[in-house]
Amino acid sequence: MVDVGDKSATKRRAVARATVRTTAEVTAAISDGSMKKGDVLAVARIAGIQAAKRTSDLIPLCHPLAITKVSVDLTVNGTSIEIEAAVETVGQTGVEMEALTAASVAALTVYDMCKSADKAMTITDVALWEKSGGRSGDYRR
């Protein structure tokens, strides 16, 4: 792991996004709550939050962080589910990996809950959209 001991603790924030592309039938079933496994959006939101908190257990060289806030928002948009994860902390290293992990796991959860209806779903566009705080400054895609 990188030594961050000499870095100042600052407020840090990162936002990542992902998209799940599927059929209109699947997005309709997600919207009306008729998927067999239950409320897809609620379960994916909780999965994303849990994933952000466990990132250092999943990514070998990530520091364990005291996360102060996580939000995972999912929006059904035509034939896709748009996911945005935002993570905040006050610390010596950033939360980009936590935001990316949250968005990715939320997308994987959507896939898992809907795979019986559409095995051809595609997870796309997983990317960091913004970060703030720290020595390297702000970034916005």
Q: Identify whether the C-beta of residue 95 lies closer than 8 Å to the C-beta of residue 89.
A: yes
Other C-beta atoms lying within 10 Å of the C-beta of residue 58: 12
- Known catalytic residues? 112
Q: What are phi and psi of 17, to 5 degrees?
A: -130, 155
